[in-house]
């Protein structure tokens, strides 16, 4: 599917965060109103997931845009996807809701999960301009901040712009 313009195609952060918001909602059972991407402004909603994608380097060498276009372009990129799970810290220390959401996020982001491929309920690709080639857990950090339990799960992502995604 071709992007409507280059700006849309090259807005990697918005496209990847939006895709993650969609499949994480399906996989965790949280409403999309409890999942936020990095530029969302919101009141504190609990439980919540905060999703952020940070673009890293492009991979050398540049490739032809597609089999029909000899124009060279960087098509392969690296980045970091971070999902923050935030719940109320339990008084008894069990944090069972927090543990459950954290495990559901991990399940959703397994390399063999149908995460960035197809949205289960609609059958439509949640990431129509890119192919995710590599998705590797790269660590988790856990904190208690007052009444909040916070787990930050990080993933290394490698993706490529699809041949048919370049606007005409």
Q: What φ, ψ does residue 89 adopt, rounded to 5°?
A: -70, 135
Mean of pLDDT values over 153-165: 94
- Whether 123 shows a pLDDT value over 70: the answer reads no
When comparing pLDDT for 124 and 53, which is higher?
53
21-61 pLDDT, tens per residue? 988 998 899 988 899 988 777 778 899 999 999 999 999 99
Give the number of other Cβ atoms within 10 Å of residue 48's Cβ: 18
Does position 120 have pLDDT exceeding 60, yes or no?
Answer: no
Distance, in Å, from the CA atom of 55 to the CA atom of 12, rounded to the nearest integer, reads 7
Identify the burial level of 88 via C-beta atoms within 10 angstroms of its C-beta, where 0-12 means exposed, 13-18 middle and 19 or more buried.
middle
Model confidence over 66-90: pLDDT tens digits? 777 888 999 999 999 999 999 998 7
List the 48-58 sheet strands across, edge first: 35-37, 48-58, 76-88, 148-161, 130-145
Please name each of the domains of the chain with its CATH number. Answer: 6-162 (3.30.2000.30)
In whole angstroms, give the CA distance from residue 53 to residue 17.
6
Burial of 13 (0-12, 13-18, 19+ CB in 10 A): middle
User: 116-124, long-range: CB within 8 Å, 24+ apart, which pairs?
Assistant: 116/16, 116/19, 116/20, 116/23, 119/22, 119/23, 119/26, 120/23, 120/26, 121/26
Tell me: pLDDT of 122 over 70: no
């Amino acid at each position: 599917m071709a992007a409507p313009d280059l700006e849309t195609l090259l807005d990697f952060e918005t496209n990847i965060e939006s895709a993650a918001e969609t499949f994480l909602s399906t996989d965790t059972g949280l409403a999309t109103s409890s999942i936020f991407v990095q530029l969302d402004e919101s009141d504190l909603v609990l439980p919540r997931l905060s999703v952020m994608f940070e673009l890293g380097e492009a991979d050398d060498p540049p490739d032809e845009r597609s089999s029909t276009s000899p124009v060279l372009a960087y098509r392969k990129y690296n980045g970091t996807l971070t999902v923050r799970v935030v719940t109320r810290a339990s008084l008894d220390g069990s944090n069972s809701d927090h543990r459950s959401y954290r495990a559901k996020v991990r399940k959703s982001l397994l390399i063999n999960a149908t995460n960035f491929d197809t949205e289960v309920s609609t059958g439509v690709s949640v990431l129509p301009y890119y192919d995710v080639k590599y998705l590797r857990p790269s660590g988790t950090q856990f904190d208690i901040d007052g009444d909040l339990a916070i787990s930050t799960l990080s993933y290394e992502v490698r993706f490529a712009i699809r041949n048919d995604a370049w606007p005409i």
